[in-house]
A and B are shown apart, each in its own frame.
Chain A
C-alpha cells in the first residue's frame, strides 16, 4: 500500500536558520509523483512542487530546495534562511491513481514555526 511518513511533527526555528523537512514514502509503483504543499494559517493548501519518479534531479526555487532520492525513498524539503512567513504546516504527498484521476496520499504534515 502507498504510504507517506513525515516523522517531524513540529519544528521550531529562529528566523534566518535553515530547516529541512523530511518525507519518506512507500510505493510498489515504478511510476509515481511526489508533491509538497504548504498550509498557512488560512487553511488553504498551496502547491509547492511536483516531482516524477524518473527525475531525481534536485530542484531549487529561491529559498526552497528539494532533494529526491529513490534509493532511500525520500523527498526532503529545505528552506534556506527561513522567514516568519514560512510558518505553516507542510505536507508531502504521493500520487495514486489510474487513468484519469489522481488520489493524493498525504503524510501527517510538519508544523513549522519560524520565530523572529
Chain B
C-alpha cells in the first residue's frame, strides 16, 4: 500500500533562517506531488506541484522554493524565512489526472519567530 511521510511534525525557526521540509512517498511510482500551506483559520493554498523529477510548477510567488531530486521525494525550502511563512504545511500525492483524489501527509507546523 502507498504511504506518505512528512517531517518534521513541528518546527520553530527564527526569522532569516533557512528551511527544509521533506516529503517522501512509498508504494507508488511517478506520483504527482504537491505542497500546500494552511494559514491559521484559513483554507489550503497550493504552493507547488510536480509531475516528474526536476519538474516544479509554482502557484504563488513567494519566499519559498521546491525541488524534486528523486521520483518520490519532494522538498520545500527557503533561504531566509519571513514571519509570514508561518503556517501548517501539507505534502500530498496523487496518481493520474484531474479526477484523482489527493492523499495527504500529516503536515508540518512551522512557526517563524
Residue numbers of A with Cβ under 8 A of B are: 4, 6, 9, 31-33, 35, 37, 42-45, 47, 50, 52, 91, 95-109
B44 / chain A contacts, CB cutoff of 8 Å: 45, 91, 104, 106
CB distance from A62 to the nearest CB of B (A): 19
Select B46's contact among A44, A99, A104, A108, beta carbons within 8 Å.
A104
Residues A100 and B103 in contact, CB atoms below 8 Å apart: no
The main secondary structure of chain A at its interface with chain B is: loop
B100 / chain A contacts, CB cutoff of 8 Å: 102
Interface residues contributed by chain B, number (CB under 8 Å): 29
Residue of B nearest to A111 (CB): B41
A91-B44, A95-B98, A100-B32 known; A44-B106 Cβ under 8 A: yes
Known contacts A4-B43, A103-B59, A106-B43; 11 additional CB pairs below 8 A are: A44-B106, A50-B99, A95-B99, A96-B98, A97-B97, A98-B98, A100-B51, A102-B32, A102-B94, A102-B101, A109-B43
A52 / chain B contacts, CB cutoff of 8 Å: 99
Instruction: Tell me the bound Cα distance from A84 to B44 in angstroms.
Output: 24
Listed residue (B36, B45, B97) with the most chain A CB atoms within 10 angstroms of its CB: B97
Residues B97 and A101 in contact, CB atoms below 8 Å apart: yes
Residue of A nearest to B109 (CB): A43
Instruction: Tell me the bound Cα distance from A42 to B99 in angstroms.
Output: 26
Instruction: Tell me the bound Cα distance from A107 to B43 in angstroms.
Output: 6
Residue of A nearest to B107 (CB): A43
